[in-house]
Structure 1
Amino acid sequence: MNPNKICFITCVNDEVMYQESLLYIENLKLPESFAIENVAIREAECITQAYNSAMCSSDAKYKVYLHQDVFIINKNFVLDIIDIFERNSNIGMIGVAGSAQIPTNGIWWESKQNYGKVYDSHSGKMELVSFLEVSGEYQNVQVIDGLILITQYDIPWREDIFTGWHFYDLSQSIEFLRSGYEVAVPKQAEPWCIHDSGVANVSNGFNCYRKQFLEEYSKDLLPLVSILIPAYNQPAYLEKALVSALAQDYYNCEIVICDDSTLKDVEILVKRYQSKYKHIKYYNNGGPLGGKGAVNIQKCFDICQGEYIGYLLHDDLYMPNKVSTMMNYLLANRNIKLVTSYRKLIDANDHVLPDFHVTRPLFDKNTKIKGRDIGRYMLTNIANVIGEMSTTLYRKADIVSNLLNFQGYQTRCLGDVALWLSLLEKGDLLYVREPLSCFRIHQEQNTNNHELQILGAIDWYKLIILAYQQQVYLDQENINQALKEWINRHKHLISNKQVPLYKKKELYSELESCYNEAINWLNKAEPLDKEELKRGTCSG
């Protein structure tokens, strides 16, 4: 390769435009003894094939792949790029605009983490398109836009996949990353280029190549998401849940199924799907592990490999864009610790049901809310407005203790609420107004089980007291409000009519103890000392 030579490579179908582009190239300043080569490819079948052909035909160390409608207005362009490459042998390719984190749909310009600047007419008029400012000499990115791509090494273009005019640039960016090089956007005091493209044409195979790009490169670009399905019999519901997980338009997923079933039906079903989908992982527990499914839920968490996780209870459903939509928020903002959404209620036959009070839309648009505010709202209203386990997505690293645990208390019914409270201590909630999951209501559920109702009441009480003791969500005023609401919600459970229905009298005694403590708290002129409260709190 000739280190004193730079080759400008262009696919040409408009001679007038190309000749204008050459005029700008001819006016560029060059290092001493440097040579310029211009290669025009006409009647190209596709851009990757054309670029491969031109790349192989030139012995120039430095190559610039640019559109015929790009005009380089930085006269020091060659001097600047040679300087960057000579001092940074790790950089394989640079461009004037790109994304440090591509969105889950593969459309780089929709990212919130774009860098660079260019004069561009894609909107129909020429204007400055400016993204985040590069603070140092350059900014490492995942992908750069193909209006101009500058390389110091030759990496083959993927003409085996991209046989048209879209996503060749993003593909080449990842090929450089795969080869161990960095891809970067340099600092530009003023834009280096004008791109007189006119309105972009995304009708000629754009979505087809977008899908191919995501299928090929999602594992390079996007973190692994684990969809966790704790199964227990009911294979008909499980199959629907599994199909909804397989239909996700986020391409870097693993599906982990831990099976508490007492029958072989679930195993037979899952193994049939495993023969076709290699990202399904199945674990047979040999029967229920205990804790009313809680142990199985924890097992799913412990063995999954994903950086981000979302549960899918075996009788619920995901919408196809559930994971991708939520991941975009988590990738864009590290302070968002939990993403949830509106969810639809469905019956055993998938018919949509009217909302319960607690499942009505929390907001009328996508909304970010402080974690402590929404946690306080839940505790003072005794309402899980965030949703069930199937409704959310979050980072695995943000869970530092047992999953269904809050402040050391292991819940026996409200594991989801305990988990939400633990996460929201650390940051914010993002609520998506669009329904991204379905929560199934059917006769085989144990929602109306008296034991679970009592355990739920006890859990709410313990969570309220712990939140106050730790000064996490509740202060003196808030705890009084929370306890009043808790009494109103649960006083029916200790009525004389209900007691004969309870099979486990010790649970009733525990609930009664909590109820009396709450009454005593509210009746006191002065609040109990926290240590006294701790000694008097009902044990779980």
Structure 2
Amino acid sequence: MNDKKIAFIYCVNNRDLYEESVRYVKSLHVPDGYEIEFIAIEGAQSITSGYNQAMKQTDAKYKVYLHQDVYINNKNFISDIMNIFKQDTQIGLIGMIGAKVIPTNGIWWESNNKYGKVYDSHTGRMGLLSFKEIRNSFESVQAVDGLMMITQYDIKWREDIFNGWHFYDISQSVEFLKKGYKVVIPRQQEPWCTHDCGVVNIKNGYEHYRKNFLEEYSGFLFPLVSILIPTYNRPSMLMEALESALKQTYKNIEIIICDDSTNEETRLMIDFLLEKQRVKNVKYIKNKKKLGKRTGLENAQKCFELANGEFINFLLDDDKFTPDKISKMVNYYLQFDNISLVTSYRQTINEKGELLNPIRSTEKLFEKDSFIDGKELGRYILFNMLNVIGEFTTVLFRKKDITGPLGNYLGRQYAPLSDVSTWLHLLDKGQAVYIAEPLSYFRLHVGQNAHDIINIINGAVEWYKLINDSYHQTDYISDLSDFREILTSWLEQNIHITKKIQKLLLDKEFAMLNNIIINQFYDCLEDCIKSIKGIS
């Protein structure tokens, strides 16, 4: 390779544009001892095939791949790029604009952190397109735009996948990253070039190549997400849940199903599905003996322990995901810092899958995507005794942020409120994101534990314990008057349960089997009344 030579490479279908661009290049200052050459590939079937063809035609170490409608304004362009390459031999690719982190949908310009600047006419009018300023001589990124891409090492362009006019640029950016090279954008006082592209055409295969990009690179770019499905005797609903997991647009996932069923229906259904569809990312485990009690938390815990993903999203077997759920939630973690959980509005449905009106806990919190301080959201949950974050299906969180068993909070194990206690544990670590669109479906039906009277009693006991422990061991509830207000609210909401218990106690067998939890409820009731009087 000739390290004193720079090749300017074009795919050309308009000679006038090309010759104008060449005139700009010929006006650049060429450092002593260096030479430049021009390679124009006409009639290329794709950008990648044209660039690969040009790569073979030159011995130049440095190559500037640019569109025919790009005009370089910076007279010291050549010496400036040489200085950047000399600063770090690991820099393989330089671009003018790009994204620090590629979003999970693959569209680089939708990144929250973009850098660089260029004079550009993509809106139909020429103007300055400028993103975040670069403080040092360059900024490392994951993707640069294909308007101009400068290399000092040769890596073959992926014409096997991108045989059109889209996603070749961020594909090549990732290929450099995979080889261990850096992709950077230089600091520019003024834009180094003008891109007179006009309105971009995204109808000629754009969506096809976007999907190709995600299929090819998701495993390299994006963290593994474990979708965990604990199931128990609901094969038909489970099938709907599983299908919604398999339809995720986010590609780097594993699906783990732990089956606590008392029969073989679910196993036979899953075996048939996996054999028929040849799905590779689903792991199915039939428990040798039933793990779950009332809430199935033990089965969920088994799923959690088997998970390999950096991120976890449960999918309860009677719920469903929307196709973009995981993609949209993971993207917040990639683009922003200090997030402890991501949740969303969830749409209630009935047993047939028909849409229902919201219930009190599922009413929309915000009309647009919002960041909420974790402590503030935790206080809201406790003050209202309402799980506004959602069931386990609703939330995406980091596995490492759960430091004990699921549902363990301040050293106490919770069952009906295992989700709420888990959220309080996470909210103490950072802020929450609430996505305003429905990304999951919460099914309301007669088979849920929420309709079980013992579960209701147990839930009341657990809310009381959450409130007490939070007041004495955290700053979710720090004011004594607030504590009294919440206790009064708990008492008003749960005093009616005593009438139901009195009726149930007429059944001696029921009383004997549930004596412990009933006594716990009365203990909480007595303690609550005593605490309220003591505060007064």
TM range (shorter): over 0.9
1:154 Cα deviation from its structure 2 partner: 0.8
Question: Unaligned regions of 5+ residues in structure 1, if any?
Answer: 527-540
Q: Distance in 2 between matches of 1:155 and 1:88?
A: 18
Matches within 5 A, 1:234-273: 234-273=234-273
| Deviations 1:432-487 (CA, angstroms, capped at 9, x unpaired) | 22111111122222322121111111110110011101132102122112111111
The secondary structure found in structure 1 opposite 2:117 is strand
Q: Distance in 2 between matches of 1:360 and 1:385?
A: 8
- Which residue of structure 2 lines up, in the alignment, with residue 280 of structure 1? 282
1:421 aligns to what?
424
Query: What per-residue deviation string (whole Å, max 9, x for no partner) do you get for residues 130-182 of structure 1?
Result: 11222222222111110001001111111111111000001111111122212
Residue 22 (structure 1) aligns with: 22
Partner of 2:359: 356
Of 242-251 and 122-131, deviating more is 122-131
Amino acid at match of 2:460: A
The answer to whether the 8 A contact 1:116-1:187 is kept is yes
CA–CA distance in structure 2, aligned partners of residues 481 and 498 of structure 1: 30
Q: What does 1:269-348 correspond to in 2, within 5 Å?
A: 269-275=269-275, 276-291=278-293, 292-348=295-351
Deviations along 1:277-315, one digit per CA (max 9) or x if unpaired, are: 111122222132234411211121122111111110011
Which of 503, 508, 518 is the aligned partner of 1:508?
518
> What is the CA–CA distance in structure 2 between the aligned matches of 1:159 and 1:412, rounded to whole Å?
54
The whole-number CA distance in structure 2 between the counterparts of 1:225 and 1:57 is: 44
* C-alpha distance in structure 2 between counterparts of 1:421 and 1:525, whole Å: 25
List structure 1 segments (4+ residues) > 6 angstroms apart after TM superposition.
Answer: none
Q: For 1:23, give the aligned amino acid.
A: R
Counterpart residue type for residue 89 of structure 1: T
User: 2: distance between equivalents of 1:478 and 1:272?
Assistant: 55
Deviations 1:475-502 (A, max 9, x none): 2122112111111111112223354465
2:136 aligned with 1:126, yes or no? Answer: no
Q: Structure 2 CA distance, aligned partners of 1:162 and 1:273?
A: 32
Letter in 2 for 1:193: C
Is 2:434 the counterpart of 1:431? yes
Tell me which amino acid in the other structure corresponds to 1:521.
Answer: S
Q: Deviations over 1:195-231 (max 9, x none)?
A: 1111111111111111111111111211111111111
Structure 1: distance between partners of 2:259 and 2:182: 43
CA contact (8 A) 1:262 1:286 kept: no
Residues paired across the two proteins, number? 526
Distance 1:53 1:256 in 2: 45
Matched ranges for 1:174-189 at <5 A: 174-189=174-189
User: Take 2:481 and 2:208, find their aligned partners in 1: how far apart are those partners?
Assistant: 57
433, 449, 452: which one aligns with 1:449: 452
Q: Distance in 2 between the 1:189 and 1:138 partners? A: 12
* Aligned match of 2:100: 100
Match of 1:62? Answer: 62
Amino acid at match of 1:379: L
> 480, 483, 494: which is aligned to 2:484?
480
User: Residues 113 and 332 of structure 1 are in contact (CA less than 8 Å); yes or no, is this contact kept in structure 2?
Assistant: yes
In the alignment, structure 1 residue 366 sits paired with structure 2 residue 354: no
Q: Give the conservation status (yes or no) of the 8 Å contact 2:46–2:163.
A: yes
Contact 1:47 1:168 in 2 (8 A): yes
How far, CA to CA, are the matches of 1:100 and 1:421 in structure 2?
Answer: 32
1:251 is paired with a residue whose SS is coil
Q: CA RMSD in A?
A: 1.4
Aligned to 1:494: 498
Provide the C-alpha distance between the structure 2 equivalents of 1:41 and 1:86, rounded to a whole number of angstroms. Answer: 29
Q: CA deviation at 1:103?
A: 1.1
Q: Look up the equivalent residue of 2:459 and give its one-letter code.
A: G
> Is the Cα contact below 8 Å between 1:114 and 1:132 reproduced in 2?
yes
Q: Which of 524, 530, 533 pairs up with 1:520?
A: 530
Q: How much does 1:525 deviate?
A: 4.6
Question: Is the partner of 2:48 in helix, strand or coil?
Answer: helix
CA distance in 2, matches of 1:229, 1:525: 45
Deviation track 1:316-336 (CA, whole Å, cap 9, x = no partner) reads: 000111111212222222222
What SS is found at the alignment partner of 2:313?
A: strand
Q: Tell me the equivalent position of 1:227.
A: 227
Q: Which residue identity is paired with 1:54? A: A
CA distance in 2, matches of 1:442, 1:395: 30
Q: Residues 484 and 535 of structure 2 are in contact (CA less than 8 Å); yes or no, is this contact kept in structure 1? A: no
Contact 2:25 2:72 in 1 (8 A): yes
Moved more, 226-235 or 494-503: 494-503
> Structure 2 stretches of 5 or more lacking a match?
none
Distance 1:60 1:505, change over 3 A: same
Q: How far apart are residue 358 of structure 1 and its match?
A: 1.7
Tell me, in whole angstroms, the C-alpha distance in 2 between the residues paired with 1:480 and 1:432: 33
For residue 529 of structure 1, what is the aligned residue in structure 2? none
Q: Secondary structure at 2:64's aligned position in 1? A: strand
